[in-house]
Amino acid sequence: MRIILIGPPGVGKGTEAELLKEHYQIPHISTGQIFRSLTQTDKPVGKIIHNFISRGEFVPDDVTNDVVAYRLMEKDCEKGFLFDGYPRTVFQAEALDNMLKEKGQKLDVVVFINGKDDEIVERLSGRRVCPVCGATYHLLNKKPKVEGLCDFDGAKIIQREDDMPETVLKRLTIYRNQTEPVIEYYKEKGLLVEVDGAGTIMGTHQSVLKVIGELSDID
Ligand SMILES: [Zn+2]
């Protein structure tokens, strides 16, 4: 099974990725994770990536595509894969198509987990983090034992700049503008399925499995 998972921040994409990985027994490939581990090596590509990330810029398409091409050569990808965070542009999507074509493979499905902006803002703005140990909390479903204080060290927990409502809305706008063409690209190919990420984790997961099943029936 070859799957791409797309969705804005705050819809539970990471959790869904882990569940799909288990369900289909395929590797979960996150370009963000590969980038972070490459920056910790001496490889020249690690230095290049570090330069972009440290400036708060996206890693360019050609570098990203190369990294993905190498990852796809690994043995565990023979059974399939789940991409998360890639492709982020139409250029990357086309490059992936070509990589797969060379292997005589093709994508099975692109799962778009969507959510309403106000629900996403509500979810993300409830997140809190401990500045001392990095433990994460949520005001709705993962409260600390003592209000406002970290369970592990008693430090005052804080809201990250990234999780403040204005920042979340800004991130969502950037995300939607950037991803729209990629979503259209896969819609035209008949590969896109959309699922509402507003429900529970398992509810979303069941919906995802259902739409994947339906798409396979159409083929
Ligand atoms: Zn702490």
Domain assignments of the chain as residue spans, ordered by start: 2-115+176-218
Take residue 122 and report the two structure tokens written for it. Answer: 């509500």
88 is catalytic: yes
Residue closest to 93 by CA, chosen among 25, 189, 196, 214: 189
Distance from residue 130's CA to the centre of ligand 1 (Å) = 5
Q: How many helices (H) and strands (E) in the chain?
A: 8, 7
36 is catalytic: no
Contact between 173 and 142 (Cβ < 8 Å): no
* Cα four-point dihedral sign 13, 97, 39, 41: positive
Structural domain 2-115+176-218, CATH architecture: 3-Layer(aba) Sandwich (3.40)
First-last CA distance in the chain: 14
Longest dimension (CA), the chain: 56
Q: 216: buried, middle or exposed (CB in 10 Å: 19+, 13-18, 0-12)? A: exposed
pLDDT at residue number 218: 47
Distance from residue 104's CA to the centre of ligand 1 (Å) = 49
Contact between 196 and 10 (Cβ < 8 Å): no
In the set 88, 123, 142, 170, the catalytic residue is 88
pLDDT at residue number 48: 92
What is the three-class DSSP state of 100?
helix
Q: What confidence tens digit (pLDDT) does each residue in 120-179 have?
A: 998 889 999 999 999 999 998 899 999 999 999 999 999 988 889 998 898 889 888 888
Which residues, at least 6 apart from 181, have a Cβ–Cβ distance to it below 8 Å? Answer: 89, 90
Distance from residue 157's CA to the centre of ligand 1 (Å) = 8
Kindly list the averaged pLDDT for each block of 10 residues, start to end, along the chain of length 219: 91 90 94 90 91 86 94 93 93 96 94 92 91 93 95 96 88 88 96 89 91 72
Distance from residue 53's CA to the centre of ligand 1 (Å) = 27
pLDDT at residue number 217: 57
pLDDT at residue number 163: 87
CA dist., res. 57 & res. 141, Å (int) = 33
2 is catalytic: no
CA dist., res. 137 & res. 128, Å (int) = 5
pTM (two decimals): 0.82
pLDDT at residue number 82: 96
Q: 149: buried, middle or exposed (CB in 10 Å: 19+, 13-18, 0-12)? A: middle
Take residue 157 and report the two structure tokens written for it. Answer: 């927990």
CA dist., res. 128 & res. 143, Å (int) = 9
Distance from residue 145's CA to the centre of ligand 1 (Å) = 12
CA dist., res. 165 & res. 162, Å (int) = 8
